[in-house]
Amino acid sequence: MIAMTPQLLARLAGLGVLGVVVQTAAVSQLPLAGATADLSPLLVMAVGLLCGSLAGGSFGFGVGLFADVVSLQTLGVSSLVLLVIGYGAGRLREARDPEGTLVPIAVGAAATLAFGVGFALLQFLLGVDAPVSWALLRQLLATLVVNTLLALPVYALVRRSLQAALPDDPRRRRRRAYTTGGLSPLSRGMEVRR
Amino acid sequence: MYDKTVRRRRAVLGLLVACSLVLLTAYFGETGGGTLHGVQRGTSEVLSPIQEGASRALKPVRDLFGWFGDTIAAKGQVEELRRERDRLRSEVLRNEVRSADYDRLARLFELDGALDLTERGPKTGRVIFQSPTIWYATIRVDKGSKDGVRVGHPVINERALIGRVTEVFAGSAQVTLITDTKTKVPARAGPRGEFGIVEPASAGNPTDLVMRFTRPGARISTGDRVVTRGTEPDDRAQSLYPVGLPIGRVTRIENEGTDTQEIHLRPFADMRSLDFVQILTDPRGSDG
């Protein structure tokens, strides 16, 4: 688990606030293929994958709460769903430590789908008096496609903005170990033979 | 050590889930003037100028987005011509934005003239925020209580009625659109002005409204215009919407002639691309 240093906390707070402001002031006003991108599940997914379940869950809660406050929506809905997404992405990192380039795309798509479905379920539980229409499903699908396309750039941006505060980035650690010969048993064997 | 980490992780998760549920329950249970609503309004009030600034600052990005593909295609030109081209493109883009803004404003004022809305105190505002989720059909405009805007004021764009003001801050106001599941508008349709209530056909569908509670034998047909009903002399309460604001056009009728007939209409206004709107700050005008 990554230690929550003050520097990391500050960066996460800045990232969350900036993400929600950009989402509400610009991204949600840019229709793409009949839908708008939703950056919040992608941001939370990226933080979960980079920082682990504790930071991912807390970041998801904070971003959701801020988004609900700014949008004058029912408090607690987004924070509950995003908290689960952040925690899930963090657990994925801790349990599997996935490395592939396509991982953020797949997890981003899953996070968007989970957010759309979770948000819809909570809305119905809270008593929204509206039937599920094809238009709604089409919008969810369009958002899923747009978010899947954006998942990798968002992940790269989040990674770049948090990199300096992340002492335990698994890829950096592994790359460093292999380039210096620290962890490779093969290279250690070569050393002994010499 | 491992157990301690797992316990800590689970404790934090449980705590945050509990916080969310407590917030949700408390918010859902309290009235509009409650503490959480107050905190939300206060925070929104503080953040409104930031949102407005961000919206204005990011407008060129939004505009650029549309012609981004064109810019990529122009890579092969020499440096000087490229600079000249970029300068001219920026100028054209600015002019196009101004021209589009001008057209929309002109149509707004045309609608004012056609519907005689000038005496209803129209205030023109720019949309600075649009709800990121399809479950809340809301926008925020840069006109607030200091401009005379109050809760309940109807809002139109250059084509038709789009919603009403539901929250007011000093410099901005939240507008709930007619496509929001909570909105209901008394309306009339057809040559005889048949009465009905217009509401969204389903959540997240900005192109389909439905008119319910019409008379079973009402003479309404596809293509008829639907307008706001306004207040009749024998009504007990004043309608929020003045009479005659266009809403949409009838597209199809389900269960025609029965008690449960549903008249579907497509709104005149495109709720997905709202830039300028007008808030009618004196909805009753000379009638009131």
For A158-174, the pLDDT digits (tens) are: 999 988 877 655 555 55
The predicted pLDDT at position B244 comes to 86
Cβ pair B27:A76 closer than 8 A = yes
pLDDT of residue B118: 74
In b/e form, how buried is each residue of A82-117, taking b as 16+ CB within 10 angstroms? bbbbbbbbbbbbbeeeeeeeebbbebbbbbbbbbbe
Cβ contact (<8 Å) for A58 and B12? yes
Scanning chain A, the segments in alpha helix (DSSP H) are: 6-25, 39-51, 53-70, 77-96, 103-125, 134-162, 170-180, 185-193
pLDDT of B55 reads 76
On average, the pLDDT of chain A sits at 82
Instruction: Please check whether residue A17 touches B, CB under 8 A.
Output: no
> Is the pLDDT higher at B1 or at B243?
B243
Place of tokens 């809301």: B138
3-state secondary structure of B186: strand
Contact A128 B207 (CB under 8 A): no
Mean pLDDT of B138-148: 91
> Do B19 and A61 make contact, defined as CB atoms within 8 angstroms?
yes
ipTM for the predicted complex: 0.75
Whether B23 sits inside 8 A of A65 (CB atoms) is: yes
Give contacts of A17 with chain B, Cβ < 8 Å. Answer: none
pLDDT of residue A184: 53
Is A33 in the B-facing interface, judged by CB distances under 8 Å? no
Q: Does A133 touch chain B (CB under 8 A)?
A: yes
Structural contact between residues B261 and B255, judged by C-beta atoms closer than 8 angstroms: yes
Q: Does A112 touch chain B (CB under 8 A)?
A: no
Nearest CA to CA, how far is B203 from chain A (Å)? 6
Query: pLDDT tier at A1 (50, 70, 90 boundaries)?
Result: low
Which residue from A minimizes the CA distance to B65? Answer: A30
Confidence of residue B69 (pLDDT cuts 50, 70, 90): very low
Task: Judge: A58–B133 Cβ closer than 8 Å, yes or no.
Answer: no
Query: Which chain A residues have a beta carbon less than 8 Å from that of B41?
Result: 72
Measure CB to CB from residue B13 to each of A57, A73, A129 and give the nearest one.
A57
DSSP label of A73: P
Q: Is A121 part of the contact surface with chain B (CB cutoff 8 Å)?
A: no
Q: How many CB pairs under 8 A join A and B?
A: 151
Q: Enumerate the residues of chain B whose CB falls inside 8 A of the CB of residue A129.
A: 181
DSSP B207: T
Cβ of A4 under 8 Å from any chain B Cβ? no
Task: State residue A37's pLDDT score.
Answer: 86
Q: Do A71 and B131 touch (CB under 8 A)?
A: yes
Is the pLDDT at A80 greater than 90, yes or no? yes
By CA distance, what is B25's nearest residue in A? Answer: A76
Lowest mean pLDDT among A37-46, A129-138, B83-92, B163-172: A129-138
pLDDT-derived band at A65 (thresholds 50, 70, 90) equals very high
Q: What pLDDT does residue A87 have?
A: 93
Q: A71 and B36 in contact by Cβ < 8 A?
A: no
Whose CA is closest to A90, among B44, B23, B59, B12? Answer: B12
Do the Cβ atoms of B20 and A76 come within 8 Å? yes
By CA distance, what is B60's nearest residue in A? A26
The strand pairing partners of B197, in sequence order, are B186, B212
Q: Band the pLDDT of B233: cuts 50, 70, 90.
A: low
Secondary structure letter of residue B74 according to DSSP: T
Picking from B21, B62, B273, the nearest residue to A76 by CB comes out as B21
Q: Is B279 helix (H, G, I), strand (E, B) or coil?
A: strand
Cβ-Cβ contacts under 8 Å, B17 against chain A: 80, 83
